[in-house]
Structure 1
Amino acid sequence: MGQALPKPALRPFLREDTPVLAAIFAAAIEELTGDDYSESQQQAWASAADDEEQFGKRLAGQLTLIATLRNSPVGFASLKGADQIDMLYVHPSAAGQGVASMLCEALEKLAGGRGAKNLTVDASDNAAEFFLKRGYVAMQRNTVTVNGEWLANTTMQKTLASGTSPGVPT
């Protein structure tokens, strides 16, 4: 009989998580985005975590959740303000195991709890399909410059469920 995969757990960000989250960020970009971005684009994008102090400040300045498997971080996501997903990254070894879905669902609930009616994300080309499947709608295409490289992404938005009482028709 096969052994069940461990379930991911969520916990809040701690400053000492910064180095491992920087490594997850870089690995996810380097190993999961090659079909959509050139090597120079990937390097420019991943360089955002080169300065770990600044990267840690960015994470600490937002509501950042960490997904763990067997108590080891395998992914993270951050909510900027009440209504914007700033970062959502999963280590390639944990991709496809529901980690990103768990993180995204948690941010959606937290955003709703903060009074947000909609949640937006600037989704990379490789993440757009993930967000589409979760009910996000493409609003506009963007081009951003990161360390001299142009990268495209799509602003996507999801209308969050209103806080109706159970059993009350909507």
Structure 2
Amino acid sequence: MSHSAPALRPYLPEDTPVLAAIFAASIMDLTGEDYSEAQQEAWASAAADEDAFGKKFAGQLTLIATLEGEPVGFASLRGTDHIDMLYVHPSAAGQGAGRALCDALERIAGARGAKKLTVDASDTALEFFRKRGYVAQQRNTVTVGDEWLANTTMQKTLNGVAVTGGHA
């Protein structure tokens, strides 16, 4: 592969418009097998208010993944132990940005004393997190606008002890 490895940097307020675009493109282009168009549109609309979207990033530990200096993905940690968002632009999917972001959040959470990390994974992201050692804990349904979207709360133990399925 000729792609360079993604670099990571902290979120800056001026990143908000490009992160909103990455968020919407990721949802609209990558989740079509798991969610209806109406569900995708409702989900992506969370970025329509860029001020509110930017405040969310500023209130969490948010990292940006870049390839050749351009933002291609982002992830945020809410509190010390919950991955709130992890999105990669469709053009960069499969190039390591999601992996690099998740690796960094896992290291940061561990360094902050977290024993486990949780994420509410979309159906599209389930396999990504499963391959990283996250174990499904429960199914959730969230309302976004007039639409219902399903996701799965997953958990990974960070202190090197594996979490086994079904034993939460």
TM-score, normalisation: structure 2: 0.94
| Separation of aligned partners in 2, 1:87 and 1:23 | 14
Q: Please list every run of 5 or more consecutive structure 1 residues that lacks an aligned counterpart in the other structure.
A: 163-170
Q: Is residue 30 of structure 2 the alignment partner of residue 63 of structure 1?
A: no
Matches of 2:8 and 2:79, distance apart in 1: 20
1:153 corresponding residue in structure 2: 151
After superposition, the C-alpha distances for 1:102-121 in whole angstroms (9 at most, x for unaligned) are: 00000000000111000000
Once the two structures are superposed, what CA deviation does each residue of 1:90-139 show, in whole Å capped at 9, x if it has no partner? 00000001110000000000000111000000000000000000000000
The correspondence for 1:143, drawn from 133, 138, 141, is 141
Partner of 1:50: 48
Alpha-carbon shift at residue 148 of structure 1 (Å): 1.2
Q: 1:123 matched to which residue of 2?
A: 121
Structure 1 runs of 4+ aligned residues shifted over 4 Å read: none
Indicate the residue corresponding to 1:134 in structure 2: 132
Letter aligned with residue 161 of structure 1: N
The equivalent residue for 1:34 is: 32
CA distance in 1, matches of 2:95, 2:34: 22
Count of equivalent residues: 160
CA distance in structure 2 between the aligned counterparts of 1:95 and 1:86, rounded to whole angstroms:
19
Deviation at 1:4, TM superposition (A): 2.4
Give yes or no for the alignment of 1:23 onto 2:31: no
Supply the distance in 2 between the matched residues of 1:11 and 1:70 (Cα, whole angstroms). 13
3-state SS in 2 of match to 1:34: coil
**Separation (CA, whole Å) in 2 of partners of 1:161 and 1:12:** 25
> What's 1:166 paired with?
none
Question: How far did 1:6 drift?
Answer: 1.5
Q: Is the radius of gyration larger for structure 1 or structure 2?
A: 1
What secondary structure is seen at the aligned counterpart in 1 of 2:120? strand
Q: Deviations over 1:5-31 (max 9, x none)?
A: 121100000000000000000000000
Structure 2: runs of 5 or more not aligned: 161-168
